[in-house]
């Protein structure tokens, strides 16, 4: 994910960047944040490589953030726009430029937390990851890389799409606390599966696309079937 902060005041750019870092870590989102002191500089960069999310100050010296947003929309219709401002006077103009949200300065951590809880629903699941203390040192795994994981002898064994196995020393509860989106289903007290790699559920096992069978506890079979159906339905809607 590529995020831009556009603000002519350096201190406000850095303050927002620090706030974003907290939210990206909280939600395990992998993102690069770029700062720009003017709309002109931002538009030049956006013309070369698109951004997924832009925080755009409305009042910037001789520039108007709404004008910058309109210029952006001429070649990028999908980027999420969040206006940062001390006044909502330009709210209507901003929404005409298809703004996603407004943040009134100074924004608080609570403001950003609520905003990112909405933003994360709009971004591809590929941007999420988990960090583990593995035997060979820290490892960052994207959610999409994980087939399933199981707890065995005080260690978590994570089986990956590339055929490798990552072993980390942590509790199963700690692992599940990080794998929080709809694609992960806890099959038992010690096994969790990534539904995006499941090809079928036969009532007792998830059958992964590589042929591996991941058993489900009997008391969770109904919930597993419903979770798998909901996941597939949701993917068809995307």
2-125 CATH: 3.40.50.2300
Which tokens sit at 224?
Answer: 């597993």
d(CA 84, CA 57): 5
Which tokens sit at 164?
Answer: 């490798």
Class of domain 142-237: mainly beta
As a whole number, mean pLDDT of residues 146-162 equals 91
d(CA 214, CA 194): 10
Which tokens sit at 34?
Answer: 């770029």
Domain range summary for the chain, segments of one domain joined by +: 2-125, 142-237
- Residue 125 pLDDT: 58
d(CA 93, CA 166): 50
Length of the chain in terms of residues written: 238
- Quick: pLDDT tens for 210-237: 999 999 999 999 999 999 988 887 654 4
As a whole number, mean pLDDT of residues 47-72 equals 89
Could you tell me the pTM of the whole model? Answer: 0.61
Q: Which residues pair with 24 in a beta bridge?
A: none
- Residue 237 pLDDT: 40
d(CA 146, CA 130): 10
Residue with the two structure tokens 């068809």? 236
Chain-centroid distance of CA 196 in Å reads 16
Is residue 92 scored above 50 in pLDDT? no
Q: Do the Cβ atoms of 42 and 68 come closer than 8 Å?
A: yes
Q: Which residues pair with 66 in a beta bridge?
A: none
- Residue 28 pLDDT: 78
Q: Can you say whether the dihedral through the CA atoms of 85, 90, 95, 98 is positive or negative?
A: negative
């Amino acid at each position: 994910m590529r995020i831009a902060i556009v603000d002519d005041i350096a201190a406000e750019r850095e303050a927002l960047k620090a706030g974003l870092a907290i939210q990206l870590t909280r939600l395990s989102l992998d993102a690069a944040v770029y700062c720009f002191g003017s709309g002109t500089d931002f538009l030049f960069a956006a013309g070369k490589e698109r951004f997924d999310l832009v925080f755009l100050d409305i009042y910037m010296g001789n520039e108007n953030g709404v004008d910058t947003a309109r210029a952006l929309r001429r070649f990028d219709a999908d980027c999420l726009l969040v206006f940062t401002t001390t006044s909502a006077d330009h709210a209507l103009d901003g929404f005409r430029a298809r703004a996603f949200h407004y943040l009134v300065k100074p924004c608080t951590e609570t403001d950003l937390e609520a905003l990112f809880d909405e933003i994360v629903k709009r971004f591809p699941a590929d941007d999420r990851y988990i960090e583990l203390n593995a035997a060979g040192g820290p490892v960052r795994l994207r959610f999409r890389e994980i087939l399933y994981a199981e707890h065995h002898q005080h260690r978590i064994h994570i089986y990956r799409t590339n055929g490798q196995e990552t072993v980390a020393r942590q509790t199963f509860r700690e692992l599940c606390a990080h794998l929080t989106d709809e694609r992960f289903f806890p099959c038992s007290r010690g096994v969790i599966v990534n539904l995006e790699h499941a090809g079928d559920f036969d009532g007792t096992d998830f059958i992964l696309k590589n042929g591996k069978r991941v058993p489900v506890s009997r008391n969770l079979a109904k919930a597993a079937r419903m979770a798998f159906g909901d996941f597939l339905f949701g993917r068809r809607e995307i």
